[in-house]
A and B are shown apart, each in its own frame.
Chain A
Amino acid sequence: MLALLMLNILAYMTPNPDKTQIIIHLLSVISQNSAGQFFSSGHTNNWAVLVCTSRFWFNYRHVANTLSVYRSVKRLGIPDSHIVLMLADDMACNHRNPKPATVFSHKNMELNVYGDDVEVDYRGYEVTVENFLRVLTGRLPPSTPRSKRLLSDDRSNILIYLTGHGGNGFLKFQDSEEISNVELADAFEQMWQKRRYNELLFIIDTCQGASMYERFYSPNIMALASSQVGEDSLSHQPDLAIGVHLMDRYTFYMLEFLEDIHPASKTNMNDLFKVCPKSQCVSTPGHRTDLFLRDPGSVLITDFFGSVRKVELTMDAINLTDPIKQMEENPVNGEEQKEVYSYADQLPVSEIIHQKPKQKDWHPPDGFILGLWTLILLVFFKTYGIKHLKHIF
């Protein structure tokens, strides 16, 4: 913008038209180079899909995990319209919660990750494997509202965070169904073929989480997990007042790490891989970067957790459409005889009593009844002979 301003000022001040042309050309080249630098990361918008798959009060920590990532992602700039938050059960307003409308991450109760401004898109029974896969692939019924859709394009960076109970090769949804790592890998491949993402960061915090990213085969995916195959992810610490474990270790230390990130920070993915070493986490966090094209050291945390709004510079003039004309209001005519409205009677007893029941249309008898009667008549005439026909008619 500054370059354009300087350009304009120079153009006015210099009387010589040739010199002006040269200066304009030079400045435009410079600004295009900086614009090119601006677009080096390749994405123009950010999305986040955060899923908690566990139901029941004792799985409080999984909801706290998801909400802490939601909080970080919102703080770093991704708006609610670009976040699909799926919580399988309600912990904040659960009747067992001694502090309603709050979900805490630590027993010192400093940080209410639920907050005052939360918008949950899928909640309760809606969090199913089918809905999750439909959100990822975009195959939703036409009447689904926008807040429940993942409207990403080929320049979107998507953060996908899953937490819950899992095992070797599967993740349990709501105690009644599972999603396997093969299904997940196929869903990501569908997303790649439909160009629904530019780069994808997949984080999973479950037992044996590394098994979930073993089967990925689509490009541009980076994955992190809280534990290797054969290991359990452990929870951090219980709170005796609330009575349950508040958060899982991996996400707790990840939240601590993310609290230090601000929208302009330059921390890269290698720092994220170092979060929660074995001494703190007891399990060994793992990561997978072989499908990712860029070097993880050059990928900023804010590329996935933050939201950078890009501005496109253009040198062309744009024609605006015609200004909107004010609607001509029909003048109120006092002389016109308008019908008088009135409020409906709330309980018109006499009207209700004399309400005629709806006349059901007469339908000809069903095929079954016709067949049955035909059978009865046939049997009758077979047994007693046709001479009895005259007694009937």
Chain B
Amino acid sequence: ILSATVDAAADTQGTSAPETVVPSSVPQPKDDFQEELVIRPLHSGDIYASFQFRTLWDTDFMRENKVSHYRLFPKSLGQVISKFSVRELHISFTQGYWRTMQWGQPFIPSPPGAELWVWFQDSVTDVDATWKELTNVLSGIFCASLNFIDSTNTVQPSASFKPLGIGNVTDHSFLRYATLPREIVCTENLTPWKKLLPCGSKAGLAVLLKSEKLFHSSFHSQAVHIRSVCQDWQCKTTSWELRQTVNSVFDLHNSGQAKREWSLFKMFSRTLTEACPLASSSKLYIDITDNPQQFELSPATSLLSQAVVLGDRRTFSVYDLTQETTFGSVRSLNLLIRWKSNEGEMLRPLLHAERYVAGYGLQTGEIHTLMYNNHPYRSFPVLLLDSVPWYLRLYIHTLSVTSKGKDNKPSYIHYEPSKDRVKPHLLEMLIQLPPNSVTEVTVQFERALLKWTEYPPDPNHGFYVGSSVISSLVPSTVAMDTNSTRERPLFSSFFPCKEESSYFVRIYTEPLLVNLPTPDFSMPYNVICLTCTVVAVGYGSLYNLLTRSFQIEEPNPGLAKRIANVIRKMRGVPPL
């Protein structure tokens, strides 16, 4: 039973409507903040929570007079945008790997570790220097070691990572992409992230972000996305959008004590008491598409909403936190989701990818990337981006792409070979995946020997190779909504949608961990000792032989002999 759905939602949200008369006395607020939380129970018993906090601001960072009055938009990010002439910035920190086959597709994908990709404005003259400074500044803002991003792990993709915001010019020389698969995410990254929110972690949905529960999950990802969006349907003016997202998957056994019963308190060790006072809309969505056979929701709510997301029409129960009635008489909302039965088949994701290293020994190896197309009769194009560090020397002549046993020639290949200690390999291919098939991309490589000062302090851990990025237009089962500015929940409006029959998806493979041949690090000490000993013994002996002369020294004679010698000397006779 569907009641007033999206129209009701549109009335309560507060972004600027197209025909608004600007009143002369009260200035219209130029910035707007919305927050939402989507909870999606997964078929394996785990639960997926996705937070999105969006700040929209109608301002121009690129004009000469600096912006000085910040209200909802964080000042540190505003200064970064204007100082480095950033057109778009996407940074994510992830712990864990997203298991597509068990959990489906995430709303906002991200690779393990840290990932940063930035589009600069056309006015930037030296993109590489600006990129280096930007990574240093961001490492200070987010307390992460982003200063390790340099030319050896930065690439300039030639066809992937088109801007997600508005823009007509797409000259890829202004795009930079880097990933740090080794980067750890912990409370020290969450703390400055929370400080960027208008309400901090004191009110609204952000009170649920407690590090002890968030980091005890199977997957945790926090990201910041900055881009320009259209203000209205005519799209003659733009505004800056800042989205901060947190995606977490709580494990049934670790956090759930193996009982299929989830509540906000169990997931986050907190309940909701109020919405953020600065937010124009604050909503909680529960995915109930498989209801009522699957689970029971309490407290019940009458608000329902439908949205087309990830190619599927899903139904959501909505809790509006700006209404007092949501919190009930106890003034706190602790949502309870109790499972009734274990049945139900998960919809198999249409696109899925895996990657692994094959081979043995420490000299050569082979990287295999497998891409699965699970659609029964449609084929679709896929853009694969691989960035391999220079110390794995790829033999591109051994690159092979096969589908169903037969050769599948990519329609576009872009390869930039690496340069030792300067830049990594970049391989981009546009491959058409035939329906219901597995496509395998293999390439052989050889491991290089590093100089002994280039090894990290724990070299036997191995060296990471960043995830491959697979961007694709996947056919959708329902018609997608191409009207980009109609009021939609935040989770369905992240990727812009240009056609109705397919939706854009980006998936990341696993990062690889390869062992490089490591030397014995005690050898310099051993060599120094040995060489010094040999030199000392050899030179010392030679010096002694050349310069030491032996003199016979008579021992001191006894008293009798001495007196006899004196007498003999007086007599003129040689001594004894």
- Bound-state CA distance A117–B187 (Å) is 7
Judge whether B412 and A355 touch: CB under 8 Å: yes
Judge whether B188 and A123 touch: CB under 8 Å: yes
Among the listed A145, A324, A332, A343, which residue makes an inter-chain contact with B498, where contact means beta carbons less than 8 Å apart? A343
A108 at the interface (CB under 8 A from B): no
B139 at the interface (CB under 8 A from A): yes
A311 at the interface (CB under 8 A from B): no
Judge whether B136 and A145 touch: CB under 8 Å: yes
Judge whether B145 and A145 touch: CB under 8 Å: no
Judge whether B159 and A352 touch: CB under 8 Å: yes
Q: Which residues of A contact B167 (CB under 8 A)?
A: 341, 343-344
- Bound-state CA distance A332–B21 (Å) is 11
* B1-41 with Cβ < 8 A to chain A: 22
Which residue of A is nearest B159, CB measured? A352
Which residue of A is nearest B231, CB measured? A341
Judge whether A101 and B495 touch: CB under 8 Å: no
* A189-233 with Cβ < 8 A to chain B: none
Q: Which residues of A contact B145 (CB under 8 A)?
A: 123-126
B140 at the interface (CB under 8 A from A): yes
A361 at the interface (CB under 8 A from B): no
Q: Which residues of B contact A271 (CB under 8 A)?
A: none
Judge whether A116 and B191 touch: CB under 8 Å: yes
B48 at the interface (CB under 8 A from A): no
Among the listed A93, A123, A145, A148, which residue makes an inter-chain contact with B215, where contact means beta carbons less than 8 Å apart? A93
Q: Which residues of A contact B212 (CB under 8 A)?
A: 99-102
Among the listed A115, A121, A124, A340, which residue makes an inter-chain contact with B235, where contact means beta carbons less than 8 Å apart? A340
Judge whether B65 and A342 touch: CB under 8 Å: no
Q: A125-B148, A353-B430 are in contact. Are A119 and B162 (CB under 8 A)?
A: no
Judge whether A101 and B430 touch: CB under 8 Å: no
Judge whether A342 and B430 touch: CB under 8 Å: no
Judge whether A117 and B191 touch: CB under 8 Å: yes
Judge whether B457 and A175 touch: CB under 8 Å: yes
Chain A contact residues: over half helix, strand or loop, or mixed? loop
Judge whether A116 and B430 touch: CB under 8 Å: no
A82 at the interface (CB under 8 A from B): no
Q: Which residues of B contact A324 (CB under 8 A)?
A: 68
Mask for B164-189, Cβ within 8 A of A = 1, else 0? 11111010000000000010111110
- Bound-state CA distance A170–B162 (Å) is 52
Q: Which residues of B contact A382 (CB under 8 A)?
A: none
Judge whether A118 and B457 touch: CB under 8 Å: no
* A333-358 with Cβ < 8 A to chain B: 338-349, 352-353, 355, 357
Mask for B469-498, Cβ within 8 A of A = 1, else 0? 001110000000000100000000001101
- Bound-state CA distance A120–B521 (Å) is 30
Judge whether B504 and A346 touch: CB under 8 Å: yes
Q: Which residues of B contact A115 (CB under 8 A)?
A: 187
- Bound-state CA distance A352–B22 (Å) is 44
Q: Which residues of A contact B381 (CB under 8 A)?
A: 347, 349
A314 at the interface (CB under 8 A from B): no
Judge whether A347 and B383 touch: CB under 8 Å: yes
Q: Which residues of B contact A55 (CB under 8 A)?
A: 457-458
- Bound-state CA distance A92–B136 (Å) is 24
- Bound-state CA distance A345–B140 (Å) is 33
Judge whether A346 and B237 touch: CB under 8 Å: no
Judge whether A125 and B504 touch: CB under 8 Å: no
- Cβ distance B137 to chain A, nearest Cβ, rounded Å: 6
- Bound-state CA distance A145–B192 (Å) is 14
Q: Which residues of B contact A100 (CB under 8 A)?
A: 212, 215-216
- Cβ distance B490 to chain A, nearest Cβ, rounded Å: 16
Q: Which residues of B contact A126 (CB under 8 A)?
A: 145, 147-148
Judge whether B236 and A353 touch: CB under 8 Å: no
* A121-138 with Cβ < 8 A to chain B: 121, 123-126
Which residue of A is nearest B410, CB measured? A353
Q: Which residues of B contact A119 (CB under 8 A)?
A: 143, 188, 191-192
Among the listed B136, B214, B234, which residue makes an inter-chain contact with A340, where contact means beta carbons less than 8 Å apart? B234
Mask for A129-163, Cβ within 8 A of B = 1, else 0? 00000000000010111111000000000000000
Q: Which residues of A contact B170 (CB under 8 A)?
A: 344
- Cβ distance A305 to chain B, nearest Cβ, rounded Å: 22
Q: Which residues of A contact B324 (CB under 8 A)?
A: none
- Cβ distance A387 to chain B, nearest Cβ, rounded Å: 45
Mask for B132-159, Cβ within 8 A of A = 1, else 0? 1100110111011101100000000011
- Cβ distance A70 to chain B, nearest Cβ, rounded Å: 11
Judge whether B140 and A147 touch: CB under 8 Å: yes
- Bound-state CA distance A348–B411 (Å) is 13
B467 at the interface (CB under 8 A from A): no
B414 at the interface (CB under 8 A from A): yes
- Cβ distance A167 to chain B, nearest Cβ, rounded Å: 15
Q: Which residues of B contact A117 (CB under 8 A)?
A: 191
B456 at the interface (CB under 8 A from A): yes
- Cβ distance A170 to chain B, nearest Cβ, rounded Å: 14
Which residue of B is nearest A124, CB measured? B145
- Cβ distance B178 to chain A, nearest Cβ, rounded Å: 16
- Bound-state CA distance A357–B188 (Å) is 43
Judge whether B140 and A92 touch: CB under 8 Å: no
Q: Which residues of B contact A46 (CB under 8 A)?
A: none
Judge whether B133 and A118 touch: CB under 8 Å: no
Judge whether A342 and B411 touch: CB under 8 Å: no
A359 at the interface (CB under 8 A from B): no
A174 at the interface (CB under 8 A from B): yes
Judge whether A346 and B215 touch: CB under 8 Å: no
Judge whether A174 and B141 touch: CB under 8 Å: no
Which residue of B is nearest A332, CB measured? B22
- Bound-state CA distance A177–B191 (Å) is 31
Judge whether A145 and B140 touch: CB under 8 Å: yes
Judge whether A346 and B473 touch: CB under 8 Å: yes
Judge whether A148 and B140 touch: CB under 8 Å: yes
Q: A143-B136, A175-B458, A332-B22 are in contact. Are A346 and B495 (CB under 8 A)?
A: yes
B294 at the interface (CB under 8 A from A): no
A239 at the interface (CB under 8 A from B): no
* B377-397 with Cβ < 8 A to chain A: 381, 383
Among the listed A144, A175, A353, which residue makes an inter-chain contact with B136, where contact means beta carbons less than 8 Å apart? A144
- Cβ distance A134 to chain B, nearest Cβ, rounded Å: 13
B281 at the interface (CB under 8 A from A): no
- Bound-state CA distance A348–B184 (Å) is 35
Judge whether A125 and B234 touch: CB under 8 Å: no
- Cβ distance B116 to chain A, nearest Cβ, rounded Å: 15
Q: A116-B211, A145-B136, A346-B473 are in contact. Are A124 and B458 (CB under 8 A)?
A: no
Q: Which residues of B contact A345 (CB under 8 A)?
A: 162, 498
- Cβ distance A180 to chain B, nearest Cβ, rounded Å: 16
- Bound-state CA distance A25–B168 (Å) is 71
- Cβ distance A299 to chain B, nearest Cβ, rounded Å: 32
A-B interface, 4 closest residue pairs, ranked by CB to CB distance from nearest? A145-B140, A93-B186, A343-B496, A143-B136
What are 16 inter-chain pairs, A to B, with CB distance below 8 A? A90-B186, A92-B186, A116-B211, A123-B145, A123-B184, A124-B184, A147-B140, A332-B237, A338-B237, A340-B236, A343-B164, A343-B484, A344-B167, A345-B162, A353-B430, A355-B412
Task: Supply 6 further A-B pairs (C-beta < 8 A) apart from A141-B136, A341-B236, A349-B381.
Answer: A101-B212, A121-B140, A176-B521, A343-B165, A345-B162, A346-B504
